[in-house]
């Protein structure tokens, strides 16, 4: 009977190590290609979440026009820690092209941090729609 418990304990250890979460991992990349979607990492047992850190800002080195760029990092973490960082960056996560900003995105599930939200694409479309609607309204006002 004691051998059965040892075998079950060994199997449980093997199964738990096989079932650990896997996330994409990269550090300070300027896009979501190459390293950020080709490098994966087996998470530690206590890590139950994947995280993406996205920063848009002026580089620490000189550039001709002070152009901003993306800094993207991905890794494993705990969901609690990730949510804490996500809440902490809520006020700085504006995704405006003319301001520096930081955002944190959390997810759970194998390789769930493949995609990241780099810009405010939906906002740009909404502004375009608003502009077109305003122009049409002005034209209709003049026709009357």
Q: How far apart are CA 75 and CA 83, in angstroms?
A: 14
Q: What is the pLDDT of residue 135?
A: 74
Q: What does the angle CA 90 – CA 20 – CA 105 come to, to the nearest 5 degrees?
A: 15
**Which residues lie across from 41 on neighbouring strands?**
23
What pLDDT score was predicted for residue 3? 66
Number of domains in the chain: 1
> Hey, CA dihedral for 46, 52, 55, 59, is it positive or negative?
positive
| Residue 87 belongs to a domain | yes
Q: Is residue 13 included in any domain, yes or no? A: no
Q: Which residues of the chain, if any, have pLDDT below 50?
A: 13-14, 16-17, 120-126
| Beta-sheet pairing, 40-42 with 26-29 | unpaired
DSSP state of 45: T
Q: Note the pTM of the prediction, 2 decimals.
A: 0.67
Domain containing residue 47: CATH number: 2.10.60.10
Rounded CA separation 137/132 (Å): 9
Residue ranges making up the domain that contains 42:
21-119
In a domain? residue 109 = yes
Is residue 56 assigned to a domain?
Answer: yes
For residue 124, tell me if it sits in a domain: no
Do residues 110 and 100 make contact, with C-beta atoms less than 8 angstroms apart?
no
Torsion angle, alpha carbons of 40, 41, 46, 48, to 10: -10
3-state secondary structure 94-126: CCCCCCCEEEEEEECCCCCCCCCCCCCHHHHHH
**Strand, coil or helix: 7:** helix
For the stretch 25-50, pLDDT in tens is 999 999 999 999 999 999 999 999 99
| pLDDT score of 124 | 42
């Amino acid at each position: 009977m004691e051998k059965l418990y040892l075998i079950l304990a060994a199997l449980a250890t093997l199964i738990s190590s096989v079932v650990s979460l896997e996330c994409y991992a990269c550090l300070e990349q300027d896009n979501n290609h190459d390293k950020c979607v080709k490098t994966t990492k087996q998470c530690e047992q206590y890590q139950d979440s994947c995280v993406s850190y996205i920063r848009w800002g002026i580089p620490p080195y000189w550039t001709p026009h002070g152009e901003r760029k993306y800094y993207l990092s991905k890794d494993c973490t705990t969901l609690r820690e990730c949510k804490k960082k996500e809440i902490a960056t809520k006020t700085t996560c504006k995704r405006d092209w003319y301001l520096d900003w930081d955002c944190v995105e959390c997810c759970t599930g194998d390789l769930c941090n493949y995609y990241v939200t780099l810009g405010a694409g939906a906002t740009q479309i909404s502004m375009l729609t608003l502009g077109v609607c305003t122009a049409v309204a002005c034209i209709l006002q003049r026709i009357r």
